[in-house]
Amino acid sequence: MPNTQIQIFDTTLRDGEQVPGCRLNTEEKIEIARELERLGVDVMEVGFPVSSPGDFESVKQISQIITESTVCGLTRAVQNDIEVAAEALEGAKRPRIHTGIGTSDSHVFNKLRTTREKVIERGVDAVKLAKKYVEDVEFYAEDAGRTDNEYLAKVIEAAIKAGATVVNIPDTTGYCLPSEYAEKIKYLKENVKGIDKAIISTHCHNDLGLATANSISGVQNGARQIECTINGIGERAGNASLEEVVMIMRKHHDLNFDTNINTKYLCEVSALVSAKMNMPVQANKAIVGSNAFAHSSGIHQDGVIKSRETYEIIDPEEVGALESSIVLTARSGRAALHYRAQKLGFELSREELDHYYKEFLNLADQQKVIQDQDLINMFTVAATG
């Protein structure tokens, strides 16, 4: 049986860009959009056109440039939002309007101050209006994560009947457990009439650090699109991280999922987004962090030197990272010192290794990391002194 294809919907330029301090101008957005296209994202959500003239212009220009990925603009279930988004997307080869409304009690009764029935009506009207402009309409049920499943099923069924081709089930507040989110998607698969006419999409936020796990639970239970961002940037604690969900599906062959992502560009795109948005990537970030392929304890270094797979499940080349590094610290063992000495061109006998290892440990206790130059000094001073 061939693997199931999972669509990657990148929202770095919309949900990611909502982060304070991450605002980009049109030129910067275009540069990132081109890289996202080269990376192979199926859909890129590039803005919320009604929100500002700048965002409108960015969506408009990106629509004229991007040809391989679907270009998507966000709207509320508001007539003017949809009309403005349709205008911004006019030049797109593959346009998508992403419209929707809040469905949890908190959204229906506190934010929108309306009724559940009226929310369904507004959602349906929004989908029908969007459908007049584009064939590809995605509907989101904001705060679906905290919406009871029975009502959510009614909303989603009505949206599909109105013409939605993709239905997005956001865990807007990052509240769901993976088992709960899995159950939600399964419930919709089993209880929504016409569900097979639409693609179910995950959109998970990371408030409890569960965005990636929830997205994977979603696709294991019938979702076929994951919404995510580069480096996991996004509102508050961020969104599901693109590099994480993609590499999970690539490494776990048992899941039988494929994506169109060219993983060798992951580190490059991560660095570009980090630089343009002024958002440093934490050193221990999975896949793209600077320590993702660095080994520092003696036991791990010994294992990796003998065979990379002992402590590495990803070949750094697969994601475009620099080769694995052996960081020399006071926790490193003789194997790491011997290995690094060889790389620097010094062949040490057993006795020399024992001797230098003691010297190395004394120095390492005083310094956080031992650099190549420290070793060169140690070996050459000893040889000439």
Comparing C-alpha atoms, which of 4, 67, 2 is closest to residue 226? 4
Q: From the CB of 265, what's the least distance to Zn ion, in Å?
A: 24
Which residue, chain included where needed, has tokens 């050193």?
A: 283
**Do 111 and 146 touch, CB atoms closer than 8 A?**
no
**Do 83 and 57 touch, CB atoms closer than 8 A?**
no
140 binding partner (options Zn ion, ligand KIV, none; Cβ < 5 to 8 Å by kind): ligand KIV
Q: From the CB of 235, what's the least distance to Zn ion, in Å?
A: 6
What is the distance between the alpha carbons of residues 160 and 198, in angstroms, rounded to a whole number?
Answer: 7
Integer angstrom CA distances of residue 117 from 15, 49, 101, 121, 283: 28, 28, 12, 6, 48
Binders of Zn ion in range 236-275 (CB under 5 A): none
Which position among 16, 73, 170, 232 is part of the footprint of ligand KIV (CB under 6 A)?
A: 170
Q: Which is closer to ligand KIV, CB of 17 or CB of 37?
A: 17
295 binding partner (options Zn ion, ligand KIV, none; Cβ < 5 to 8 Å by kind): none
Which position among 29, 131, 184, 203 is part of the footprint of ligand KIV (CB under 6 A)?
A: 203
Q: Does 143 bind Zn ion (CB under 5 A)?
A: no
3 state SS of 331: coil
Q: What is the DSSP annotation of 18-76? A: GSTT----HHHHHHHHHHHHHHT-SEEEEE-GGG-HHHHHHHHHHHHH--SSEEEEE--
Q: Which is closer to Zn ion, CB of 10 or CB of 15?
A: 15
Which position among 15, 17, 136, 157 is part of the footprint of Zn ion (CB under 5 A)?
A: 15
Which position among 63, 172, 206, 241 is part of the footprint of ligand KIV (CB under 6 A)?
A: 172
What is the distance between the alpha carbons of residues 33 and 297, in angstroms, rounded to a whole number?
Answer: 39
Binders of ligand KIV in range 249-268 (CB under 6 A): none
Count of positions on this chain that bind Zn ion (CB under 5 A):
1
Which of 152-160, 168-176, 261-269, 276-284 is the region at the interface with ligand KIV (rule: CB under 6 A)?
Answer: 168-176
Binders of ligand KIV in range 123-142 (CB under 6 A): 140, 142
Give the number of C-alpha atoms closer than 13 A to the C-alpha of residue 364, restricted to the C-beta side: 23
- Residues in touch with ligand KIV (CB under 6 A): 15, 140, 142, 168, 170, 172, 203, 205
Q: Which residues bind Zn ion (CB under 5 A)?
A: 15
